[in-house]
Amino acid sequence: APKIIGLTGGIGSGKTTVARFIEEFGFPVYYSDERAKDIVNENGDLRSKIKDLLGNGAYDEKGLYNRKFVAEKIFNDNDLLEGLNGIIHPAVRNDFEDWVKAQKKYLVFKETALLFELKLNLQCDRSVLVTAEDNIRMKRVMDRDGKTYREVQAIMEHQMPEKDKIKLADCIIYNNTNLEDLKEHTEKVIFDIE
Ligand code: ATP
């Protein structure tokens, strides 16, 4: 079985950029958050469980997951949020396990924003953190998404502080300079993983 490397980073750290570099170096990357969005539409068992929890409105007339309805439903209801996560997270985990079985490389990467928050690092052989100074992440996200300073700040305040992630990570990619440096660091870190 391949080694599983968890890849994470806070908002605007550059984890998606690093994931693309990793693919360019020939290693497969599983994008957990993207897959979670697909699975709620693809997996029939998951669909029934979500409807049981939140009501039929969780899916629209076309049968597509209704993100807005769900967000409103779980807003300020922690039990429902936990219930929903308790349904979706195991489904993503199963999907990931199936995906891993189909891979042939000795290393595979699992990109997820909440690697440490959800303790998913415990299900990985190693963890890689992409990190950058808060002010640099702030600027990148404001430029990328057209969000205001306050909007980005609110998201950052909800995430685990970088200093705590740094303590938990096995490998750290600092992304405070340019994309050339980032690619070089990425290459060095992934080919050093044993
Ligand atoms: P999120 O959690 O918000 O999805 P992320 O960690 O996946 O963010 P990216 O989308 O990879 O971060 O990077 C954020 C933005 O910053 C992107 O527009 C990306 O192109 C840019 N960026 C990342 N690293 C650098 C760098 N070293 N130099 C210049 N721009 C960068």
**16 marked ligand binding residue:** yes
Q: What is the DSSP string of 131-159?
A: E--HHHHHHHHHHHH---HHHHHHHHHHS
pLDDT at 185: 98
Give the separation between CA 59 and CA 108, rounded to whole angstroms.
Answer: 33
- Closest atom of ligand 1 relative to the 182 alpha carbon: 27
Question: What is this structure's pTM?
Answer: 0.93
User: Can you give the residue ranges of every domain in the chain?
Assistant: 1-28+103-194, 37-94
Which residues of the chain fall short of a pLDDT of 70?
A: none
Of the options 3.20.20.70, 3.40.50.300, 1.10.10.10, 2.60.40.10, the CATH number for the domain spanning 1-28+103-194: 3.40.50.300
What is the CB neighbour count within 10 angstroms for residue 154? 11
ipTM for this model: 0.97
pLDDT at 29: 98
Q: Is 15 in the pocket of ligand 1 (CB under 6 A)?
A: yes
* Residue nearest atom 16 in ligand 1 by C-alpha distance: 140
Q: Is 159 left (phi over 0), alpha (psi -120 to 50) or beta?
A: beta
- Closest atom of ligand 1 relative to the 9 alpha carbon: 6
Contacts of 104 (CB under 8 A, 6+ apart): none
- Closest atom of ligand 1 relative to the 18 alpha carbon: 11
Q: Is 73 in the pocket of ligand 1 (CB under 6 A)?
A: no
The predicted-structure confidence for 62-97, as pLDDT tens digits, reads as follows 999 999 999 999 998 999 999 999 999 999 999 999
